[in-house]
Amino acid sequence: MKKEKFDWKNPSKKQWKQIHAWTRTIIQIFFFVMMPSIFTTAFSGVKYIFTRIGTGEAVSMTAFVTALAAICLYTIVFGRFFCGFACAFGSVGDWLHALYLWINKKAGKKKPWKPDRQLMKWLSYVKYAVLALIVILCFTGFYGKTSGWSPWDVFSMLRSGNLRLAAYIPGLILLILIFAGMFVEERFFCKVLCPMGAVFSLLPILPLYALFRDRQNCLKGCSACTRMCPADLELPERGSFHASGDCFQCQKCIDTCPKGNVRCGVKEVKGNELLFTLIRAIILFALMKLAGV
């Protein structure tokens, strides 16, 4: 796939779309195999900080805190590229949803069932409650007593082939529910429940590599990018500072826009999206290796 592309002088729009989709899948598989624990490690940083403050101990730069700081800095500069391309949990969700779409296609259903958009919008605030709840549990020292409940622990255990799940039945049930959600709704977990996503959403993402659109060039009444967006975002006007913390940087909108209006703040990137994606993936990988994940 990759080799062919360089032989073509001018891949068609559709072919570019395929190239980008495959590149994303390959990067996701790479991170899933090489670094499946970035999410849990970084979030352990959040838990660690509040547990320590709760017990009145100093917060030292442990491996968890370093990973948390590194991923937050990366996200401030590059947006939530990690979510779209490197998170093991998100990747599994994407594959589950792809399976859902494939089944629908085979069954001859043109429009697969989707949860109500307005409902999803309201539900997307739940993640802040999840974050607040975990932080409070850590601070008060109760988190240790909920060990069998974490669906992320169960996910990590399954991934590493650790199948002694007897003490993790509540977590396993939650995980199955989450996967069911991810199956019918693209990025259900990331939008609604992910506490790390809540942290990312609260970060001030620089308007450099975040995605914007030139609205005045849009076709009248067109909402192709919003309909394609897993987070249902209406991208901000280029030049503004309203980069949304809910954008996963999946970049599907770039190829979806019939007018090619979607691009990031730095204009040199336009047309070099593939190269830039690879560079970001390499920087992320190197950074996480340095941080000791």
Partner 1 sequence: MKQFLMKWVNVILIVGLIAGYNLILSSRAQAEEVLRLQAELDSANLKLENVIEENEWLKENAALFAAASTSARKDEDTEENQEDTLYTAGTYTGEAQGFGGLVKVAVTVSDREITDITIQSADNEDTAYLTMAVDIIPAILSAQSADVDTISGATFSSTGIKHAVQQALEKAVN
The string of DSSP codes covering 38-76 is HHHHHHHHHHHHHHHHHHT------HHHHHHHHHHHHHH
Rg of the chain over all Cα atoms, to the nearest angstrom:
20
Beta carbons of 42 and 67 less than 8 angstroms apart: yes
Cβ 23 to partner 1, closest distance in Å? 27
CA max distance for the chain = 63
| The amino acid at 245 | G
Per CB under 8 A, 293 contacts partner 1: yes
| Positions 114 through 143 that interact with partner 1 (CB under 8 A) | none
Q: Which residues contact 44 (CB under 8 A, 6 or more apart)?
A: 64, 67
Among 22, 102, 125, 241, binds partner 1 (CB under 8 A): 241
Question: Nearer to partner 1 by C-beta: 144 or 221?
Answer: 144
| Positions 59 through 98 that interact with partner 1 (CB under 8 A) | 59, 62-64, 67
Question: Nearer to partner 1 by C-beta: 16 or 139?
Answer: 139
Q: Which residues contact 72 (CB under 8 A, 6 or more apart)?
A: 42, 199, 200, 203
| Positions 164 through 203 that interact with partner 1 (CB under 8 A) | 164, 202-203
Q: Which stretch binds partner 1 (CB under 8 A): 77-85, 100-108, 224-232, 239-247?
A: 239-247
Q: Which stretch binds partner 1 (CB under 8 A): 156-164, 185-193, 218-226, 246-254?
A: 156-164
Q: How far apart are CA 217 and CA 214, in angstroms?
A: 6
**Contacting positions for partner 1 (CB under 8 A):** 37, 41, 44, 47-49, 51, 53, 56-59, 62-64, 67, 144, 147, 156-157, 160-162, 164, 202-204, 207, 240-243, 245, 291-293
